[in-house]
Amino acid sequence: MSEIQKPLAGLKVVELGTLIAGPFCTRIMAEFGAEVIKVEAPDGGDPLRKWRKLYEGTSLWWYVQARNKKSVTANLKHPEGREFVRKLIVEADILVENFRPGVLEKLGLGWEVLKEANPGLVMVRLSGFGQTGPYKDQPGFGAVGESMGGLRYITGFPDRPPVRTGISIGDSIAALWGAIGALMALRHKEVNGGAGQVVDVALYEAVFAMMESLVPEFDVFGFIRERTGNIMPGITPSNTHTTRDGKHVTIGANGDAIFKRLMHAMERSDLADDPGLADNAGRDARRDEIYGLIDNWCGARDEAEVLAMLATAEVPSSRVYSAVDMFADPQFIARQMLETAKLPDGRPFRIPGIVPKLSATPGSTEWLGPELGAHTEEVLSALGYSPAQIAALKENGAV
């Protein structure tokens, strides 16, 4: 165990969530010291346990997503299972849930009931469309939030249908807003003397909040941002280019001084000194010309040479990393972004490091995602259940 006091030590968090948004929100809290008690259904638990690549029947993703959490089982359809969860929440600082709106209310675990029993509770509610509005009862996964929030519309190339990113980015963004909201609510309670409250995060709104200048540009100019491939519209040059050896290099030279350095590195001093290209507006007006020149320059050189020349010229650039690149990169290693852990059979494997890096109270991995119900007896005992009562709960299917 870590000897350093973590910033969220002393916080008790109950997670009633599955898959991505809710569990990623609580994962952040668990990494920084909160006691996170994950409530799972006894008949299989979180489906994430079986998602993607499995090692001896368990998802490798699960080991990361549930690290530092305690797993308890509770049958929410059983009155004694619900009572167990209610008692957990009464003692909790934060509850994180990502059921469809209304589900917890039907179970007798809605906000109005819970705040009476625990007035200081911060309840983070992650859902497709939020707890209010005409769409609130509709199912909504991250893919829907990404589409409705505007991200999918602008992702891809103009001559092709919209594409998605290769990860569940909508769920993960919502999880981050949930964690931020929970900490703001705690700050209000602890510093301003406020009571607990609901943090209502809709997946589509979480994505929509990241859409930069989309709203004012449409409202003022009627401008609708479209798909533009790898370039950043209105910001030039910022693009991905292919080298002679078939690798891909991202170059961001949209700063005025950086653009000059890039042009000098490309032996195009005429463009570096062209007053028409001295600012972004002038460069963006000649975007196709500039990108064509950079394409040709990169295409005449191998990746290593391109990156070396750009580094010498202090032009922001990078190869487009795969997992192979990450595992070999000294920056990832130096910043401990590839931790070594052990699977249940003792096999060592790498897991992602902790973000962000806190200088005095860093987060850490204390244990990997646990077996289903591994902490049920421990948590029940802490709530005052006797061994006989625990045995009875197991026997009647409540846990």
pLDDT for residue 335: 97
Residue with tokens 């609510």: 185
90 and 177 share one domain: yes
Q: State yes or no: pLDDT of 1 exceeds 50.
A: no
Neighbours of 20 (CB within 10 A): 24
Catalytic residue among 171, 270, 284, 329: 171
User: What tens digit of pLDDT does each residue of 213-222 get?
Assistant: 999 999 999 9
Mean pLDDT taken over the chain: 96
pLDDT for residue 151: 97
pLDDT for residue 233: 86
Decide if 171 is catalytic: yes
Question: Which one-letter DSSP state was computed for residue 261?
Answer: H
CB 368 within 8 A of CB 65: no
In the chain, the number of structural domains is: 2
22 and 142 share one domain: yes
Mean pLDDT of 195-212: 98
Q: State yes or no: pLDDT of 2 exceeds 80.
A: no
102 and 53 share one domain: yes
pLDDT for residue 228: 94
Mean pLDDT of 144-148: 97
| pLDDT level of residue 8 (50, 70, 90 thresholds) | very high
| Residue 300 amino acid letter | A
Cis geometry, peptide bond prior to residue 233 (ω within 30 degrees of 0):
no
Phi, psi of 273 (to 5 degrees): -100, 5
Q: 19: which residues sit within 8 A by CB, 6+ positions away? A: 46, 47, 48, 51, 98, 171
61 and 190 share one domain: yes
171 and 49 share one domain: yes
For CA atoms 259, 264, 268, 274, give the dihedral sign: positive
Query: For residue 257, is it within any domain?
Result: yes
Q: State yes or no: pLDDT of 211 exceeds 90.
A: yes
Closest CA to 127 of 116, 139, 118, 115: 139
pLDDT for residue 345: 97
358 and 310 share one domain: no
> Where in the sequence is the domain holding 296, given as residue range(s)?
238-319
Rounded Cα distance between 378 and 14, Å, is: 15
